[in-house]
Amino acid sequence: MLPLPHPEFRAPPPSPVAGAHAHMLDPADDDDELAGFLIHSLRVPKLSLPHRIFPQEATPWDPPDVDFRQLISREDDAPEAELLKSAASAFGCFQLVNHGIPPGLIAAVEGAAASAFQLPPGAKKKAARSPDRRCGFELEEEEGVLGEAEEFLWLCPSAMRERKELAAIWPQGCRDLRENLEGLWREIENIASRIEEVLLDNANMNAQLLKSRREEAGDGSSVCFHKHASNGSHSAGIKHELLRMLVRSWSCSCHLSLHLLGSASEFHVYSKRGWYKFCPDTAAIIVTIGDQIQACSGGFYKHVIGKPAVVSKGNRQDSIISMAFHCAHQGIVDSNTSHSLEEKTISLGEQVMIAAFLAIAYYIVTFLCGGSV
């Protein structure tokens, strides 16, 4: 038997990715199509990536102060009304001073809300928000977040079914919070009503129409209680909360947000223009413009999101409760949307007239073309 020939062991060809570089190929060899292909295929495009998705630091800012006492004078051409409109159009945020809400009423609601955050973790999970329950605790998926900053959402007084579900889990505290919150809610609604009337005066919407739409669509309003971390807030935590609020604002529509800050030392505002912060007046209400007002005004007023922050300067262990009232009147946006749709819709009679005109034009063109032939 003849011996089998030994296999020829040849080295594999060099990898075109690992061995072919622009400096190893002869650029003068234009006839080598493979070399030209490798030269062009190995060129990695230079990507201009953004240095940051979110600004690294907030820009200090001094918001305008609007006096509510002068605003309720019902003089829409008064300087305070013009200041309110200019602040909403330029910044989307302002401080409301002399609002007239008793400090004792605010403190009573803060105390009732503080008891909610003292519930055990098991009860908080039972009272957490879900697709079937809009009110309750906003729990993070990460472990350890529960002991830091927390949020508790409470719906407007007309949402009876969901409040009964929460009362079954937290009976005494739910009753105390409801009783203390009713008076404060009326004060907030009166303030929001007057601000809305001034802002939408240019949109030709009278007070009676606003009142009727507010009564029809009051179920969208809510108040968010926020317990700030006792060890203070840093820049990364504030950015995380602002981004989370930005995502939430896409699904939660409102026309105005009124923030009662408690003892918060800073207030942060985020919009398309950037990220800003300021030291608020402890007795003032911070008002931010919602997406519904922006839609009603045709983009004249600017929608922003806001968040209070606590910057501790020592080993402070007590927690701070802040409140954000999100007043949502969905009927305003729905009516404007339906009105715009009605303007763009062609009626059935107009469609019949257009079809008849096209049919007559077709016969005329056919007759002329046939006669010319």
User: Other CB atoms closer than 10 Å to residue 312's CB: what's the count?
Assistant: 16
| pLDDT at res. 9 | 47
- Single-letter amino acid, residue 125: K
In the chain, pLDDT over 90 holds for what percent of residues?
17
Q: Does 166 have pLDDT greater than 70? A: yes
Rounded distance between C-alpha atoms, residue 210 and residue 228, angstroms: 35
Question: How distant is the alpha carbon of residue 163 from its chain centre?
Answer: 24
Q: Which region among 11-20, 104-113, 144-153, 334-343 has the lowest average model confidence (pLDDT)? A: 334-343
Rounded distance between C-alpha atoms, residue 64 and residue 156, angstroms: 29
Is 304 exposed, middle or buried (CB count within 10 Å of its CB: 0-12, 13-18, 19+)? buried
**Element holding 236 (H helix, E strand):** helix 235-249
Across 123-144, average pLDDT? 72
Rounded distance between C-alpha atoms, residue 293 and residue 359, angstroms: 46
Question: How distant is the alpha carbon of residue 171 from its chain centre?
Answer: 32
How many Cα atoms are found within 13 Å in the side-chain-facing hemisphere of 240? 8
Judge whether 329 and 315 are in contact, CB under 8 Å.
no
User: Other CB atoms closer than 10 Å to residue 190's CB: what's the count?
Assistant: 14
Across 329-335, average pLDDT? 50
pTM: 0.69
pLDDT tens profile 272-310: 778 888 999 888 999 999 988 888 888 889 999 888 888
Confidence of residue 323 (pLDDT cuts 50, 70, 90): very high
User: Other CB atoms closer than 10 Å to residue 126's CB: what's the count?
Assistant: 16
Judge whether 198 and 71 are in contact, CB under 8 Å.
yes
- Single-letter amino acid, residue 12: P
Confidence of residue 11 (pLDDT cuts 50, 70, 90): low
Query: Strand, helix or coil at 30?
Result: coil
Judge whether 191 and 96 are in contact, CB under 8 Å.
yes
User: Other CB atoms closer than 10 Å to residue 234's CB: what's the count?
Assistant: 12
Tokens of 356: 């008849």
pLDDT tens profile 249-273: 555 678 899 999 988 888 988 887 7
Architecture of domain 59-338: Sandwich (2.60)
Q: Does 21 have pLDDT greater than 50? A: no
Q: Which value, in Å, is the radius of gyration of the alpha carbons in the chain?
A: 32
Tokens of 298: 């045709």
- Single-letter amino acid, residue 59: T
Residues with Cβ within 8 Å of 230's Cβ and at least 6 positions away in sequence, in order, are 312, 316, 317, 318, 319
Tokens of 92: 């989307």
- Single-letter amino acid, residue 116: A
User: Other CB atoms closer than 10 Å to residue 123's CB: what's the count?
Assistant: 15
pLDDT tens profile 191-246: 999 998 888 875 555 445 555 555 554 557 889 998 886 544 455 556 666 666 66
| pLDDT at res. 335 | 46
Domain ranges for the chain, please list them: 1-44, 59-338
pLDDT tens profile 172-194: 778 888 888 889 999 999 999 99
Residues with Cβ within 8 Å of 43's Cβ and at least 6 positions away in sequence, in order, are 22
pLDDT tens profile 65-122: 999 998 887 665 578 889 999 999 999 999 999 999 999 999 999 988 888 888 888 8
DSSP symbol at 329: -
How many Cα atoms are found within 13 Å in the side-chain-facing hemisphere of 357? 6
Confidence of residue 31 (pLDDT cuts 50, 70, 90): low
